[in-house]
Amino acid sequence: MRIAIGSDHAGYDMKEQLKGFLAKRSIEVLDCGPDTGDKPPEYVAIAKHVAQQAAAGQVDGGILICGTGIGMSIAANKVPGARAGLCNELFSVKYAKSDVNINVLCMGSRIISQRMAEEITTLWLDIPFSGGRFIPRLQKISELEVEMRGC
């Protein structure tokens, strides 16, 4: 399994610790930045890169971390094919993955602990997409993306 990961300066420490957590699970990590937590990076570009990797299937999913997770999720969802979900607790991540099949997990480092981030990540990685009645719903999302490109 291969996961792309990125953050802003607020999420840098959590990103770095998650990289080690993922490595312990034998997951290959593609770090899309930043390389340091010293100054605010251009987080929109990082979100775009992670979301593009996930949407294109070049990785099995993406993880984005900022202070709240909101900015990263908004930016990632602008990428066609990305289904980014902001999940700062376990209930949301369970259904975001099983029902919506999010391919980009967004979290807020100023909202949750490192331990909670690891629990959320574990659930996101382990829970399967339910398929079935949710497949037509995802198709409608894809159709909306195509429709909105013409606006």
Instruction: DSSP for 45-70, please give it.
Output: HHHHHHHHHHHTTSSSEEEEEESSSH
Distance CA 89, CA 72 (A): 17
Query: Is 66 an active-site residue?
Result: yes
Burial of 115 (0-12, 13-18, 19+ CB in 10 A): exposed
Candidate list 66, 87, 106, 151, residue with the active-site label:
66
Handedness of CA 66, 69, 72, 75 (dihedral sign): negative
* Residue 75 DSSP SS3: helix
Residues assigned a catalytic role? 66
